[in-house]
């Protein structure tokens, strides 16, 4: 127990964990797991759940939790020592999971459980676990010949190392870049809080002037507000070429890593008897085939295209007539769009942002959850990895349901983006219920100090939506009622349904009776005025055609890479992206744009041949939210505990214990339809 990574008695001991703890802890846990597996292999007893699945889950859960802590720390407080420890142990971890997935004795054990006379009388969760395990053994190459098993294992190890390297290159390229502006006049148009943050960043480096980086809260306001067109182009180019052959350092170029990852995925698919990796990916998803996904995306593109063409024509005309930009470029579009929004709807993003200080936003979020799901959220105590991190507990009827860490601000050494991850899953143990724990991570602007006075961080409305999105994932993990680990919470949920609760939660960010309780002007304390809210609603679907096509472009690009792309044909990743853009896009970025070199979702984040999930699940989430809208038509508010508790019971509590479509139909009483999605995006007839 002297090694904090081996202490599973409660929460991770973040204050005690050091890089030197990683290797001994992982070695001990791998040895323990292999001992358990050896005992199961030698056991002459008939296979039973309690004597077969339970001991295996007990051992693998410890390994998963310890390695999860290492991966989490690598993402939020990266250091050279931690990175070295992670990379040193990753091959052994990958090798173990591959061995486990190819173990014929364990495979036979799960098949015996499925064929046992009492299988049909098992709880649904356990039947699902057994069926998922058999599927996963097959996808892990358990039925391959020995020489092919060996090659499969080599592919997994190399793939894991390359994915990690992709992330590290992106993080290093992001952390390395700094743009120092000496003259305040060059920053004309930027909001005061952005200028103050840039000034503080320069001072932290003991420099004069204003420092901008490639962290989103730093670079994006330049594109959105800076009147200096050259400045916009400079930061756009730096961001669009990071981690590519056009970036700052050749050792951070992800080009060959992407090509090699695609080659390995293609080879893995071939070994398993599939035509391509997209088919492998979809075995465990709701969608039935790459063709079905492509058809769904192309149909959505066709519906969105007229709206996108109108959006673009309006933007170009406005840029030329009002801004004097007759040749609108990629670094002008965000700036022009913000100016057009201000003219058309008479408000700016910055004006709205001042009504969303962090304390009010957090309280407003908690109010929605507490109202819908009859729970209480309270501050709690735990060791954390950074002073900015907060910790909370969720209770129902006075009993602990789950806990979560909240890490909101961008900083060096922290991976970009926003995500939810599980620190611990719910399960029934011999000591009672093990409650779930989640990490909720964002990259928002931190509070700034002006003349020695600290002001609360303020969030843009988009950032508020992001927070609600990630919290939807958190609720899926934390409010589960399933007692078997492998399908409790988000575990075992089809990847193209996992975004349902997260996208569902986003809808509440547009409701007046929600925003009234989560806004207070950062200087005056006044709540969001109804007139400004009405303008936000009028602008809700501003350029939604362009935004929809952008998501379709990313999704179709991902699917084509893993469906039709032949890595050794001379075709490049850039060629595929160009072809997809020719097919579905109306707004084309410059030739130097290397978006794909930082597309972490599909090259290092588990979304390979699955990025379409965002749009696929949005059909489900919009239709689910329509049930709350129907209630609002009668009761006047979408904050319905009656509908909320039904959503909780049928979607959140069910976890992965049954197919996502069955959970949706149990909640909605029918199959999902696309109507609500089109209506929410302003694209219905």
Number of H helices, E strands in the chain: 26, 11
156 touches 593 (CB < 8 A): no
Residues 6+ apart with CB under 8 A from 52: 40, 43, 109, 113
The CB density around residue 35, as the number of other CB atoms within 10 Å, is 11
State the helix-helix crossing angle for 216-225 and 229-240, rounded to 10 degrees: 140
Look up residue 617 and give its two tokens: 């699940």
Active site residue 470: yes
pLDDT for residue 685 = 62
Please measure the distance between the N-terminal and C-terminal CA atoms of the chain and give it in whole angstroms: 64
Mean pLDDT (10-residue bins), the chain, 685 residues:
93 98 98 98 92 97 98 97 98 98 98 97 98 98 97 98 98 97 97 94 95 97 98 98 96 97 98 98 97 97 97 98 98 98 95 97 98 98 98 98 98 96 96 97 91 89 98 98 98 96 98 96 96 97 97 98 91 95 97 97 96 97 98 92 97 98 98 95 85
pLDDT for residue 595 = 97
User: In terms of pTM, does the model score above 0.85?
Assistant: yes
Domains of the chain, earliest start first: 4-101+103-139 (1.20.1050.40), 177-251 (no CATH), 254-347+543-611 (1.10.1370.10), 358-535 (1.10.1370.40)
Q: What is the DSSP letter of 427?
A: E
Q: Give burial (CB, 10 Å; 0-12/13-18/19+) of 434.
A: middle
CA distances from 152 to 101, 264, 371, 525, 574 (A): 11, 9, 49, 60, 28
pLDDT for residue 515 = 97
| Distance, CA of 470 to chain centre | 7
Whats the size of the chain, residue-wise? 685
List the catalytic residue out of 470, 618, 650, 653.
470
Longest alpha-carbon distance in the chain: 82
Which has the closest alpha carbon to 502: 375, 354, 617, 338? 617
In 608-640, which positions are buried (b, 16+ CB within 10 angstroms) versus exposed (e)?
bbbbbbbbbbbbbbbbbbbbbbebbeeeeebbb
Look up residue 643 and give its two tokens: 């509908």
507 touches 279 (CB < 8 A): no
Look up residue 450 and give its two tokens: 């002006």
């Amino acid at each position: 127990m002297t090694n904090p990574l081996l202490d599973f008695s409660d929460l991770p001991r973040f204050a005690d964990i050091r890089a030197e703890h990683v290797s001994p802890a992982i070695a001990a846990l791998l040895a323990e797991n292999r001992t358990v597996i050896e005992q199961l292999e030698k056991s002459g007893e008939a296979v039973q759940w309690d004597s077969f699945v339970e001991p295996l889950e007990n051992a693998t859960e410890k390994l998963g939790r310890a390695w999860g802590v290492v991966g989490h720390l690598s993402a939020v407080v990266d250091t050279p020592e931690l990175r070295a420890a992670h990379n040193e142990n990753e091959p052994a971890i990958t090798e173990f999971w591959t061995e486990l997935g190819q173990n014929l004795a364990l495979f036979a054990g799960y098949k015996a459980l499925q064929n046992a006379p009492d299988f049909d009388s098992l709880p649904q969760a356990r039947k699902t676990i057994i069926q998922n395990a058999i599927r996963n053994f097959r996808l892990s190459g358990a039925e391959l010949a020995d020489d092919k098993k060996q090659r499969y294992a080599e592919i997994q190890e190399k793939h894991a190392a390359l994915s990690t390297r992709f992330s590290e290159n992106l993080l290093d390229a992001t952390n390395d870049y700094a743009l120092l502006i000496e003259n305040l006049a060059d920053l004309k148009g930027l909001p005061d809080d952005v200028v103050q943050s840039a000034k503080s960043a320069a001072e932290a480096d003991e420099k004069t002037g204003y420092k901008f980086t490639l962290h989103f809260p730093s670079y994006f306001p330049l594109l959105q507000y800076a009147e200096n067109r050259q400045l916009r182009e400079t930061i756009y180019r730096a961001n669009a070429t990071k981690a590519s052959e056009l970036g700052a350092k050749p050792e951070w170029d992800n080009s060959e890593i992407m090509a090699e990852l695609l080659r390995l995925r293609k080879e893995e698919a071939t070994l398993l008897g599939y035509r391509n990796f997209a088919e492998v990916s979809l075995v465990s998803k709701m969608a039935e085939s790459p063709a079905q996904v492509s058809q769904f995306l192309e149909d959505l593109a066709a519906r969105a295209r007229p709206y996108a063409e109108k959006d673009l024509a309006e933007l170009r005309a406005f840029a030329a007539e009002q801004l004097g930009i007759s040749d609108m470029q990629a670094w002008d579009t965000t700036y022009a769009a913000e100016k057009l929004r201000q003219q058309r709807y008479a408000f700016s993003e910055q004006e709205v942002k001042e009504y969303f200080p962090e304390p009010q936003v957090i309280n407003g979020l908690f109010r929605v959850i507490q109202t819908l799901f009859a729970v209480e959220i309270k501050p709690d105590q735990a060791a954390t990895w950074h002073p900015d991190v907060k910790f909370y507990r969720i209770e129902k009827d006075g009993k602990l349901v789950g806990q979560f860490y909240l890490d909101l601000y961008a900083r060096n050494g922290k991976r970009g983006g926003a995500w939810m991850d599980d620190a611990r899953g719910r399960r029934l143990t011999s000591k009672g219920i093990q409650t779930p724990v989640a990490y909720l991570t964002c990259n928002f602007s931190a509070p700034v100090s002006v003349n020695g006075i600290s002001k609360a961080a303020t969030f843009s409305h988009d950032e508020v939506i992001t927070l609600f999105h990630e919290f939807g994932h958190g609720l899926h993990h934390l409010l589960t009622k399933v007692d078997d680990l492998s399908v409790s919470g988000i575990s075992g949920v089809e990847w193209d349904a996992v975004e349902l609760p997260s996208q569902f939660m986003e809808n509440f960010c547009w409701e007046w009776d929600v925003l009234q309780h989560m806004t207070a002007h950062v200087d005056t304390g006044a709540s969001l005025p109804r007139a400004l809210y009405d303008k936000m609603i009028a602008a809700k679907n501003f350029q939604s055609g362009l935004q929809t096509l952008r998501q379709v472009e990313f999704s179709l690009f991902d699917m084509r890479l893993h469906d039709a792309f032949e890595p050794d044909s001379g075709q490049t990743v850039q060629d595929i992206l160009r072809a997809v853009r020719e097919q579905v896009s109306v707004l084309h970025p410059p030739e130097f744009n290397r978006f794909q070199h930082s597309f972490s979702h599909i090259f290092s984040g588990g979304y390979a041949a699955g990025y379409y999930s965002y749009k696929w699940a949005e059909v489900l989430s919009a239709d689910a939210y329509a049930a709350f809208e129907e209630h609002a038509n009668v009761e006047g508010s979408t904050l319905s505990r009656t509908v909320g508790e039904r959503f909780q019971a049928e979607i959140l509590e069910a976890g992965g214990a049954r197919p996502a479509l069955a959970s949706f139909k149990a909640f909605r009483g029918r199959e999902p339809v696309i109507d609500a999605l089109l209506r929410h995006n302003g694209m219905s007839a």
